[in-house]
Amino acid sequence: IYRGDYIVNWCPVDQTAISDEEVQHEERESKLYWIRYPSPHGEVVVATTRPETMLGDTGVAVSPEDAAKRHLVGKTCTLPIIGRELPIVADAAVQKEFGSGFVKVTPAHDPVDYGIGKRHNLATVVVIDRTGKMTAQAGADFAGLDRFEARAKVIERLEHDGLVVKVEPHRHAVGKHDRCGTVIEPLLSTQWFVKMAPLAEPAVRAAETEAITFYPERWRNVYMSWMTNIRDWCISRQLWWGHRIPVWYCDDCDHLTVSRTDPTRCEGCGGAKIRQDEDVLDTWFSSWLWTFSPLGWPDEDAPDLKRYHPTSVLVTGSEIIFFWVARMIMASLEFMREVPFRHVFLTGIVRDGQGRKMSKSLGNSPDPLDIIDKWGTDAFRFTLSMLSPPGKDVFFDEAKLELGRNFGNKMWQASRLILGAVDKEGKPLFKENANGDFTSTLAFRPEYAWEDRWILSALSRCASDTNRCFEEWRLNEGAARVYDFFWHDFCDWYLELAKVRLYGEGDKRTVLAVMVHVLGESLKLMHPLMPYITEEIASALPTSNGRLLLEHAYPQGDGRALDAEAEGRMTVLRDVVTSVRNVRAAYRVNPGLKIPVRVRAHEPKASLVREATDGIVRLAGVATLEVGPDVAKEKGSAATPIGDLEVVIPLAGVVDVEAERARLTREREKVDAELSEVARKLANEGFVAKAKPEVVERERARRERLETELSKLVESLGLLGH
């Protein structure tokens, strides 16, 4: 840390120095003024965007490469208005192609000029003060004017004097203070700085060696480019609020006393006439210590520090990579000699409907407490999780919260169904089972039906998929995966199938045990995304044992539960049920009306369908289900092929021949199109020779299935007559 006089970013409104990171650049249409500085040695015309600063010029510079102007180097010209003689120097900071090739040099008000002034021993003349007004040095006509008023007045005077050669439009970026929007004034002043290069070096290495990793990875490059182009950090602020700089100056000697406790005497000469620095530290200068300073540091043996440092993940927004993330890494490596965290996960930024970042000053941010009152904490949390792909900004729209609210409601309702059927001890709450056994489902060894094996298999897949998503930082996909499983697999299919046993005769213990188990595991999977509702429901489950979900291990997915056979059965049931529902909807069959259904199928598929009869009957509104290879398919029935089986629904008087022909024709066109696509692929020798065998095999199977379906459709159409 050092103190010195340098050009800093100065905010004339807040009247403080700020760091480079607090300057927001904004492209603007501006003007480039070409101004003649009279000289007896030749034409000198400078080009500038800030004419008001010329009042503080102490030189003119040209490029050392600029042969046409070389003869002027070492000569002088006259500064208009003021009348000061200005030396003409050659400096590598000047580009000969830009503007006129002459640069006016104002060491007190421009960082580049400051460098030129240093190298050529030019004087510094301060013409703008800390409030952005012109000083006495700017001359009596300008002193006290605002810097922008002065600009206009300078040009006015120069035009009057015939010294403005031309004015051209010029697009360039101006720096603004990120807090108040005031145009930054580069100002020469005495400030404290941190020398950054030595701190950046290990921080660069930490990212290179992947001691710290970034998600999504591209942010690593952002971090790296900042780190490798780092500049010293101005940490003193002329503000009221903050950590006051712990340095005392002595009126009697030059010594600086630096102390953690307030001293009464100068450390150098022992004198009592000391006064503390008036300035405070940049707020980030304390924030960069955050990963260790709250844990007991600088006591390196503090238990919390030993236990919790370094931590695993920092979750934050990309907008503060420089302000905070990068600096925490540097501070930790410097003071703790280890990384502060191993992974940096950058979330997207939540923006308003117009894409603007939510901010207090814009007033475009809804009050989270209002949102939570209206929609619920979990709904808010879940919706944002599911709608936020890694590192991508989210356009927030309150209506989107319906997604989370509805899902929360779905969980609640499904739980009502289940908890209405089983008591706290796991005993069935209604309808005696066949043998009158009321023993708990908990200690019971269940005898799984195939649909139980299916949902357990699906649960296992969901858990392992979800884990993988989370491990790969794809939280949105993890959320979507659980959402889909719970709503569509568990609620739409399993619970509906479960009602066959739940509301029917017979032993209910197996189905209750499975429902409770799958609900409980789903709650665990959902818990990080919907902590409140899941704990609430879980506490009522017979399996809770008074423990919080928070205390349980996260489900990993039990590979032993995977059951391809049961999944195959489910596919058949789904296909049959869907095709029946399809026909019912197409012919507006009264939803309350149970209809006869026949399924044409050969063994072993026929048995599969027979064994799923109860489910098909309940889910598709079926009166009677006939299954076999030769079930009748007469005129006046609707027939839908599903691979090698066919769902036939006799609907005498309901099926309109023309409508059915249209339906089947449309279906045939679809199958035809798909079939020719597959045929084209398989006819391609390159495909058969070079594609992976399993891909080719899949296409062949697909062709076979489509051909079967097509022949059935043709048969059905023939049955309808022409």
Partner RNA sequence: GGGCGAAUAGCUCAGUUGGUAGAGCGUCUGCCUUACACGCAGAAGGUCACAGGUUCGAGCCCUGUUUCGCCCACCA
Residues 375-394 that bind RNA (CB under 7 A): 387, 389-390, 392, 394
Measure the CA angle with vertex 302, ends 299 and 307; round to 5°.
135
Q: Which stretch binds RNA (CB under 7 A): 94-102, 187-195, 560-568, 623-631?
A: 94-102
Q: SS3 for 632-651, per residue?
A: CCCCCEEEEEECCEEEEEEC
Q: Which stretch binds RNA (CB under 7 A): 193-201, 219-227, 257-265, 640-648?
A: 219-227
d(CA 230, CA 607): 73
d(CA 587, CA 695): 38
Instruction: Give the number of C-alpha atoms closer than 13 A to the C-alpha of residue 482, restricted to the C-beta side.
Output: 37
683 near RNA, rule: CB under 7 A: no
Taking the complex as a whole, the smallest distance from the CB of residue 295 to RNA amounts, in Å, to 30
From candidates 692, 718, 721, 722, binder to RNA by CB under 7 A: 692
CA neighbor of 335 nearest in space, from 291, 304, 302: 291
List the x/- string, 341-380, binding to RNA by CB under 7 A: --------------x-------------------------
| Structural contact between residues 484 and 459, judged by C-beta atoms closer than 8 angstroms | no
User: Interface residues for RNA in 50-79 (CB under 7 A)?
Assistant: 50, 63
Nearer to RNA, 229 or 264 (CB): 229
Taking the complex as a whole, the smallest distance from the CB of residue 698 to RNA amounts, in Å, to 7
From candidates 16, 48, 76, 377, binder to RNA by CB under 7 A: 48
Question: Edge-to-edge strand order for the sheet containing 274-276?
Answer: 256-258, 247-250, 274-276
269 near RNA, rule: CB under 7 A: no
Tokens standing for 352?
Answer: 């308003």
Angle separating helix axes 657-683 and 693-720, nearest 10 degrees:
150
24 near RNA, rule: CB under 7 A: yes
687 near RNA, rule: CB under 7 A: yes
Phi, psi of 299 (to 5 degrees): -70, 105
676 near RNA, rule: CB under 7 A: no
From candidates 3, 14, 20, 531, binder to RNA by CB under 7 A: 20
316 near RNA, rule: CB under 7 A: no
User: Interface residues for RNA in 561-600 (CB under 7 A)?
Assistant: 578, 581-582, 584-586, 588, 591-592
141 near RNA, rule: CB under 7 A: no
d(CA 603, CA 630): 12
Categorise residue 563: left if φ over 0, alpha if ψ from -120 to 50, beta otherwise: beta
695 near RNA, rule: CB under 7 A: yes
Measure the CA angle with vertex 387, ends 384 and 391; round to 5°.
90
Residue 241, CA distances (Å) to 38, 122, 237, 245, 468 in order = 50, 37, 9, 12, 46
User: Interface residues for RNA in 461-480 (CB under 7 A)?
Assistant: 472, 474, 476-477, 480
CA neighbor of 623 nearest in space, from 593, 595, 600: 595
Q: Which stretch binds RNA (CB under 7 A): 514-522, 532-540, 695-703, 711-719?
A: 695-703
Nearer to RNA, 255 or 405 (CB): 405
Nearer to RNA, 532 or 547 (CB): 532
Q: Which stretch binds RNA (CB under 7 A): 254-262, 305-313, 558-566, 682-690?
A: 682-690
In Å, the largest CA–CA distance within the chain is 119
297 near RNA, rule: CB under 7 A: no
CA 230 from chain center: how many Å?
A: 26
697 near RNA, rule: CB under 7 A: no
547 near RNA, rule: CB under 7 A: no
CA neighbor of 625 nearest in space, from 652, 642, 649: 649
120 near RNA, rule: CB under 7 A: no
The residue behind tokens 């993940």 is 313
Nearer to RNA, 173 or 258 (CB): 173
Count of positions on this chain that bind RNA (CB under 7 A): 91
From candidates 153, 179, 342, 499, binder to RNA by CB under 7 A: 499
User: Interface residues for RNA in 319-338 (CB under 7 A)?
Assistant: 319, 322
The residue behind tokens 């995966």 is 481
417 near RNA, rule: CB under 7 A: yes
185 near RNA, rule: CB under 7 A: no
CA 77 from chain center: how many Å?
A: 57
Nearer to RNA, 453 or 663 (CB): 663
The residue behind tokens 């043996």 is 301
606 near RNA, rule: CB under 7 A: no
Categorise residue 99: left if φ over 0, alpha if ψ from -120 to 50, beta otherwise: left
